[in-house]
Amino acid sequence: MNGRALLRPARRWADNSAFLRRIGIRWPTNRRRCKANAMALDPEKAFLDYSTADCSVQFWTANAPAVQFTSLEAAVRFAKDHGGRWEEIEITVHLPREDIAFATGKVHQLIDALPGELGKK
């Protein structure tokens, strides 16, 4: 940019995209959330990584207590045995620095990929 452009008064843009195009930045055309941006889940890696981590299972129904387990696989088996495939559920992995929560959709993927259950469907 030359010095004159900096001295001009700022234009009022009705839309930021015109301003961004003027300075060389393109505004994203797809402003809706794209499903491809969601984090992918590798169930086998999750079972290996959290095989000794404390986990809790919480069914999203009234007065349902959270149940604690010592591995992700045990938590997923409990969820499967107690109707987790058809109810709203959350499994939380408790790590020293953070907690990782798997919501209903990811829990269904984990149930489908339980070790030893691949041939049974």
Nearest Cα neighbor of 45 from 106, 98, 104, 121 is 106
Q: How many domains does the chain have?
A: 1
pLDDT tens digits along 5-20: 555 555 555 555 555 5
For residues 111 and 79, give the distance between their C-alpha atoms in angstroms, rounded to a whole number: 8
Nearest Cα neighbor of 92 from 101, 81, 79 is 101
pLDDT at 22: 56
Residue 95 lies in a domain: yes
Residue 120 lies in a domain: no
For residues 30 and 109, give the distance between their C-alpha atoms in angstroms, rounded to a whole number: 28
pLDDT tens digits along 63-80: 888 999 999 999 999 999
| Helix residue spans in 1-121 (DSSP H) | 3-7, 16-22, 43-49, 72-81, 104-112
Cβ neighbours of residue 66 closer than 8 Å, sequence gap 6 or more: 56, 57, 58
Residue 44 lies in a domain: yes
Q: At residue 27, does pLDDT exceed 80? A: no
pLDDT band at 50 (very low <50, low <70, confident <90, very high): very high
Residue 97 lies in a domain: yes
pTM metric for this prediction: 0.64
**Angle value at C-alpha 41, between 37 and 113, nearest 5 degrees:** 145
Residue 99 lies in a domain: yes
Residue numbers of the domain that contains 68: 40-112
